[in-house]
Amino acid sequence: MPGCKLDTISGRGEPYSLAAVLLTTPFLRNLQEFRTLFRPHTPLWTNLSTNAELSAPLPSENATKEQITVQDATWYLGNSTDDAYVIETADYFTKYTFADTWRDSDVHGMYADGTQSKDGSTFGAWLVMNTKDTYWGGPIHSDLMVDGIVYNYIVSNHHGDGTPNITNGFDRTFGPQYFHFNKGSATTTLDELRKDAAQYSDPSWNAAFYDSIAHLVPGYVPTSSRGTFKAIVTLPTDTIENPIVVLAQNGLDFQDNVQSITDYQYWADIDLVTGLVTIPRVKAGTYRMTIYADGVFGWYTQDDIVVDAGGITLINVTWVSETAGTELWRIGTPDKSAGEYKHGYALDPLHPNQIEEYRVYWGAYDFPADFPDGVNFRVGESKEAEDWNYIHWRQVIIKVNDLYKRKSDRSVQCVRWLRKLLPPNSHHIIKNLQLDNILPPLQIRYRNQGNGNLYNPNRRRQNSCREYGSL
């Protein structure tokens, strides 16, 4: 049967080994979750922190006593009008609010502001992601960070993340990652304790120590088996932001690397001025290089990039953005997100914390009031931030105004793609293309059960409506 071994080295970080021995009886399923965590059981902790921009008070015990479950791991707290979380952050609390992508994640955790400690001292409890090469899914991978528990999600299928199959011979050592606990005076802020922890979020930190015990940690790759990757990238002439290089499993999209137990992954930002990028401490091996950036359709890939132990791999790359002809029009920004649309990255104007609106439970927004006639978008005139929603519902039927405080109580057929979507000068070019009624065929399901169009009071957690992908 599968076995899990955790090796903890106090004050230094933690490598984790997971092995499966299935010689006689197949175990035909996936590894659904593998995580370590810090789960406190005292009232000491007062605040959550996902990254340098996102933090919030923890809901009080009184607020959680009055909470109403609206969906899986999601609660309405709006009746507790004097609660700090409700006042500062949102009427809804869910662990998904504080999730994040792996790309720039370095430290997340909890903070105690001193109000619950005997002498007023402040405290921090942090997961430091000093290495990310043994995770899967690349920089786009996202997962839970903190919700009253500080997580290190090594494997899960949250957000559609891939999970590995458990087969005979599965054996992988993950990490190290590092739990950091610190203490400050009564005036020490969350940001100050967070920065103290963040100084250790470098893969070179403690490398000499890890090398010294490598013979005791099967599967750990020491410095002697690593090299350096460098590239000079000539970027497209498009208006671009945040260019990045990813090294991951050869021959595959890096988001699909989860079935390899031997391949690692790395990424680093490209300097916009010089085009230079450097990735140190790369496990010796053969990789696919992927380059992408905000503002550019598609990406550049190159297989068979070899990194030798103790060596430096240097390549020159010219990336030309994809094109299939003359661009007629576009909606939004190619950046692998829907953040530019209504209720996306826009900051919540109703609460002092002003978190990004997409992080709040979808029920906080009144789609029928925002789009009473459905989505009706005119290219060149309409605005993405107001006239195109961050998600598209096929149909929304509202029956629970008393809970969601909505302005309307009626169904709305939400998506209509009309000919006036297109600017007039493009019709003669695409005159044979029908755009009258297109419904993209991506349906979100809840635990293998489709969410119906109709509100069902017997399925309170599953009334998330049917969602469709964008055009």
Helix, coil or strand: residue 344: coil
Q: Average model confidence (pLDDT) for the chain? A: 85
150-155 and 241-249 strand pairing: unpaired
- Mean pLDDT highest for which of 200-209, 366-375, 403-412? 200-209
SS3 461: helix
Please name the residue that has the structure tokens 């109709």: 454
Q: What is the pLDDT of residue 5?
A: 34
DSSP of 157-202:
-GGG----B--TT-EEEEEEEEEEEEEE-TT--HHHHHHHHHTT-S
> For residue 405, what pLDDT is reported?
52
Amino acid at 124: G
* pLDDT average, residue stretch 350-354: 98
Domain boundaries defined on the chain: 2-50+99-216, 224-318, 358-468
pLDDT of 228 over the 50 cut: yes
What is the structure's pLDDT at 111?
Answer: 99
- Cβ within 8 Å of residue 66, ≥6 positions away: 77, 79, 80
The model's confidence at residue 141, banded by pLDDT at 50, 70 and 90, is very high
Residue 64 pLDDT more than 80? yes
Burial class (CB in 10 A: 0-12, 13-18, 19+), 346: middle
Q: C-alpha distances in angstroms, 471 versus 229, 231, 376, 381? A: 38, 35, 13, 18
Q: Per the structure block, which two tokens stand in for 130?
A: 């000093």
20 versus 414: the higher-pLDDT residue is 20
CA nearest 193: which of 145, 129, 121? 121
β partners of residue 266: 247
> Lowest mean pLDDT: which of 75-84, 225-234, 452-461?
452-461
Upstream peptide bond of 372 is cis (omega within 30 degrees of 0): no
For the entire predicted model, the pTM comes to 0.85
**Window from 144-158, 222-236, 404-418 with minimum mean pLDDT:** 404-418
CATH classification code of 224-318:
2.60.40.1120
Tokens of residue 238, six digits? 């498009």
In this prediction, residues 179-189 reach a mean pLDDT of 98
What per-residue confidence (pLDDT) applies to 22?
Answer: 57
Structure tokens belonging to residue 166: 């458990």
Confidence class for position 12, pLDDT limits 50, 70, 90: low
pLDDT value at position 391?
87
pLDDT tens digit sequence for 358-369: 999 988 998 888
Helix (H, G, I), strand (E, B) or coil at 61: helix
Q: Percent of the chain, pLDDT > 70? A: 78
Give the tokens for residue 275: 């085009």
Mean pLDDT in residue range 359-381: 87
The DSSP 8-state label assigned to residue 219 in this structure reads T
Q: Mean pLDDT throughout 24-36? A: 82
| The pLDDT value given to residue 350 | 96
Which pairs with CB-CB distance under 8 Å and at least 24 residues apart come from 100-103? Answer: 100/50, 100/51, 100/54, 100/142, 100/143, 100/145, 101/139, 101/140, 101/141, 101/142, 102/129, 102/132, 102/135, 102/137, 102/138, 102/139, 102/140, 102/141, 102/142, 102/143, 103/139, 103/140, 103/244, 103/267
% of the chain exceeding 90 in pLDDT:
68
